[in-house]
A and B are shown apart, each in its own frame.
Chain A
Amino acid sequence: MSGVRVLVGTRKGAFVLSSDGKRDKWDISGPHFAGWEIYHLKGSPADPERLYASQTSGWFGQVIQRSDDGGKTWEPVGNEFHYQGEPGTHQWYDGTPHPWEFARVWHLEPALDDPDTVYAGVEDAGLFRSADGGRHWQELPGLRGHKTGPSWQPGAGGMCLHTIILDPSRPERIFTAISAAGAFRSDDAGQTWRPVNRGLHSEGIPDTGAEVGHCVHRLAMHPSRPSVLYMQKHWDVMRSDDAGESWREVSGDLPTDFGFPIDVHAHEPETVYVVPITSDSHHFPPEGRLRVYRSRTGGDEWEPLTRGLPQEHCYVNVLRDAMAVDSLDDCGIYFGTTGGQVYASADAGDSWAPIVRDLPAVLSVEVQTLA
């Protein structure tokens, strides 16, 4: 019978939430790696039993864990992330040059066709790749080495490469996003890169339409239409119909266009989800009401989804990697909050229920749809 496996990274460990296709009864396992920050876990599309996890600690640094049995057991693999060549500098918060320093892995993106190949987006922003199941990591230095690299600056959360999207129709095409540099695209499997930020406008930088410097929070793509991208920027929800060559704002009638995650319905490429957050100085939902907003028109027109979500006294946030969708016939939507709740909808967002309420602050949510 079909089912789903929800992979949850939190401030204090990882949790695996499993259910059959009805998605109303859940088995909870964890905490795995208790006490460590788990920025992200993700399963291989080519082998759903192969999972990767980024385990980090301010004390003990970076560990990468791998599972070959769907998260029942784990094995530490390689944790050496060395920038290639002389690391050089980027800009620090005060505008001075600052050496590139590895801090942690924010996002792990397994390849679409090979369980042993996986990409890692790291802080300070760089892209790494392993072709041996996470044992050894090599930087793809063309991204960090882009001519604009020395001008990149960290966002409030650090200078992180948080989004990696692999184009299923063009294996050589990769999208990444960096806070606060912007979106980048490679058309040669990660060797060379260029910024794809035309049409973005950010009030927080001197040249509001600059080539780089935009605080992109998240990108999303529907695999059936890889030239259409959606973006939640620091402020503004954006859309590109030409693989990032140009962007237009689709915030439309959202109550606020600040937020972190954005995702696309598994079967409807024009159905998009965001979680509006009051502002960059108030990282909680407007009016204390937790609302997911859904557009069925690819943006501009949005409807609040509230059934089953707290509509008073709710002051949690939903972080950039903490929303995911399954691909069952009735598309399931999932998100986790900084208050430790993981909410699920088995009807494309019409109604919601918490799977768990009291986890540590949720950093990431991924879903695997199991045959």
Chain B
Amino acid sequence: MTGDADVVRVALPAHLRTLARVHGEVELDVTGRVTQGAVLDALEARYPVLRGTIRDQRTGKRRAFIRFFACQQDLSHEPPDAPLPEAVAAGTEPYLIVGAMAGG
């Protein structure tokens, strides 16, 4: 999906909602191709406090215990420049940033 600006819905894990001081989903204007990288860029631009909490600030590598889901798919291992599902780009489905189940 391309366009001037798509509104993408992003669901953050509870700890990151607290850190960013938001409630519920975040709606982001994403310009250009709606990719994971573009969504995370827009998220971090709006909420700089989230820089480093989802992906490494220098390499962009996803933190080990973070997962990216959308439309019942695990997109965690997709490259950052891969387009997100149309339903995410259209704002009908949220992009889910999830803290992996770990630690028991």
Please report A residues at the B interface, Cβ cutoff 8 Å. Answer: 34-36, 57-63, 76, 79-80, 82
- Could you give 11 example pairs across A and B, Cβ below 8 Å? A36-B15, A58-B65, A58-B103, A59-B65, A59-B66, A60-B15, A61-B52, A61-B63, A62-B52, A63-B49, A79-B53
Q: Once the chains bind, are B52 and A59 in contact (CB under 8 Å)?
A: no
Q: Once the chains bind, are B99 and A80 in contact (CB under 8 Å)?
A: no
Q: Once the chains bind, are A76 and B63 in contact (CB under 8 Å)?
A: no
A59–B98 Cα distance when bound, in Å, is 10
* A60-B58 CB under 8 A given contacts A35-B15, A76-B19, A80-B52: no
A35 nearest in chain B by CB position: B15
Instruction: List 13 additional A-B contacts (Cβ < 8 Å) besides A58-B65, A58-B102, A82-B58.
Output: A34-B18, A36-B15, A57-B15, A59-B13, A59-B15, A59-B99, A60-B66, A60-B99, A61-B63, A62-B52, A76-B19, A79-B53, A80-B51
A77–B19 Cα distance when bound, in Å, is 11
Q: Hey, which chain A residues are within 8 Å of B103, CB to CB?
A: 58
Q: Hey, which chain B residues are within 8 Å of A59, CB to CB?
A: 13, 15, 63, 65-66, 99-100, 102
A52–B13 Cα distance when bound, in Å, is 25
* A63-B19 CB under 8 A given contacts A79-B51, A80-B57: yes
A33 nearest in chain B by CB position: B18
Question: Within B38-65, which residues are at the interface with A (CB < 8 Å)?
Answer: 49, 51-54, 57-58, 63, 65
A78–B14 Cα distance when bound, in Å, is 21
Q: Hey, which chain A residues are within 8 Å of B58, CB to CB?
A: 82
A34–B15 Cα distance when bound, in Å, is 9
Q: Hey, which chain B residues are within 8 Å of A35, CB to CB?
A: 14-15
A35–B63 Cα distance when bound, in Å, is 18
Binary interface encoding of chain B residues 9-48 relative to chain A, with 1 for a CB under 8 A from any of its CBs, else 0: 0000111101100000000000000000000000000000
Q: Hey, which chain B residues are within 8 Å of A79, CB to CB?
A: 51-53
Binary interface encoding of chain B residues 76-104 relative to chain A, with 1 for a CB under 8 A from any of its CBs, else 0: 00000000000000000000000110110
Q: Hey, which chain B residues are within 8 Å of A57, CB to CB?
A: 15
A79–B53 Cα distance when bound, in Å, is 9
Q: Once the chains bind, are A60 and B53 in contact (CB under 8 Å)?
A: yes
Chain A: minimal CB distance from B26 (Å) = 16
Closest 8 CB pairs of A and B: A60-B53, A59-B65, A59-B99, A76-B49, A79-B52, A61-B52, A61-B53, A80-B57
Chain A: minimal CB distance from B91 (Å) = 26
A36–B19 Cα distance when bound, in Å, is 11
Within the complex, which residue of B14, B53, B57, B63 is in contact with A63, where a contact is CB–CB below 8 Å? B53
Q: Hey, which chain A residues are within 8 Å of B99, CB to CB?
A: 59-60
Chain B: minimal CB distance from A151 (Å) = 27
A14–B49 Cα distance when bound, in Å, is 19
Chain B: minimal CB distance from A158 (Å) = 16
Chain A: minimal CB distance from B15 (Å) = 6
A76 nearest in chain B by CB position: B49
Chain A: minimal CB distance from B69 (Å) = 15
Q: Hey, which chain B residues are within 8 Å of A76, CB to CB?
A: 19, 49
Q: Hey, which chain A residues are within 8 Å of B18, CB to CB?
A: 34
A35–B14 Cα distance when bound, in Å, is 10
Which of B16, B19, B49, B103 has the most chain A CB atoms closer than 10 A to its own CB? B19
Which of B15, B51, B58, B99 has the most chain A CB atoms closer than 10 A to its own CB? B15
Q: Once the chains bind, are B49 and A60 in contact (CB under 8 Å)?
A: no
Q: Hey, which chain A residues are within 8 Å of B54, CB to CB?
A: 60
Q: Hey, which chain B residues are within 8 Å of A34, CB to CB?
A: 18
A231–B66 Cα distance when bound, in Å, is 40
A35–B17 Cα distance when bound, in Å, is 13
* A60-B102 CB under 8 A given contacts A79-B51, A82-B58: no
Q: Hey, which chain A residues are within 8 Å of B49, CB to CB?
A: 63, 76
A36–B16 Cα distance when bound, in Å, is 11
